[in-house]
Amino acid sequence: MQTKQHCNEDAITAYLLGMADREDANHVDACLDCYARVERARIEMEQLRAATQNLASRPEQFWDRQRRAIMERVTPVQRTPFRRWLWVPGVVLGMLVLVFLLHLLPILHPRPEPGDIVKTQPQQLQQDADDLLLVEIQNDLQRPVPRALEPATLLVQARNNIAQSNKRHTSGGVQE
Ligand SMILES: [Zn+2]
């Protein structure tokens, strides 16, 4: 046995797999060199198996990463037309809201126009009644308006001027 040459790689692998010839197995058991080669081959095989297990367990993460990377590249292409269509309903809705607000605006902020007396007259009359009440109270008290109400008095005077210019004649008790 000692005269036998060292085992070749096939014999080492066969020994590692438990399939070596009896002659080779005896040599490996007796030869430190060949035994060391078998151990190295065993280590290499363990590393190879670990690497294989890594490869086998990696695809989940690998493909997940691949999918994310692909989606990051694909998504902008898909988003662009989606965004392009997305702002259209928003603009339409905004235009509808704008039209609606423009429609409500004259109701929320009525402006008495000289040519539109018919529509504004009831409210104008109500304002005149309020103004008359305030002015009458002021006249009845026979004293200057409190300083805090002076701006209101100016507003009343302005409204009375507008009302008198609109209606020429009605309020008899209002005098400046
Ligand atoms: Zn040997």
Q: Both 93 and 116 in a single domain? A: no
Domain shared by 122 and 154, yes or no: yes
Task: Kindly give the distance from the C-alpha atom of residue 25 to the centroid of ligand 1, in angstroms, as a whole number.
Answer: 10
Q: For residues 115 and 104, state if they share a domain.
A: no
- Is the domain of 144 the same as that of 122? yes
> For residue 30, how far is its CA from the centre of ligand 1 (angstroms)?
8
Distance between Cα 49 and ligand 1 center (Å): 26
Q: Are residues 153 and 89 in the same domain?
A: no
Report pLDDT digits (tens) over 25-69: 999 999 999 999 999 999 998 999 898 888 777 667 788 888 889
Same domain flag for 89 and 27: yes
From 58, 18, 52, 66, select the one nearest 38 (Cα to Cα).
Answer: 18
Between CA 126 and CA 134, with CA 132 as vertex, the angle to 5 degrees is 110
Q: Is residue 18 located within the same domain as residue 87?
A: yes
What separation in Å is there between the alpha carbon of 15 and the centre of ligand 1?
12
Reported as a single tens digit per residue, the pLDDT across 87-119 is 777 888 888 888 877 777 666 555 555 655 555
pTM over 0.75: no
Distance from C-alpha of 84 to C-alpha of 24, rounded to nearest angstrom: 75
User: What pLDDT shows up at residue 136?
Assistant: 75
Last residue of a domain, one of 108, 136, 151: 108
- How many Å lie between the centroid of ligand 1 and the Cα of residue 42? 16
Residues 27 and 79 in one domain: yes
Helices 9-16, 22-30: inter-axial angle, 10-degree rounding: 90
Task: Tell me the CA–centroid distance for residue 50 and ligand 1, in Å.
Answer: 28
Q: At what angle do helices 9-16 and 32-108 cross, to 10 degrees?
A: 70
Predicted local distance difference test score (pLDDT) of residue 40: 94
> Whole domain around residue 36: which residue ranges?
1-108
**CB-based neighbours (< 5 A) of ligand 1, an ion:** 6, 31, 33-34
Distance 34 CA to ligand 1 centre (A): 4
What pLDDT is attached to residue 2? Answer: 47
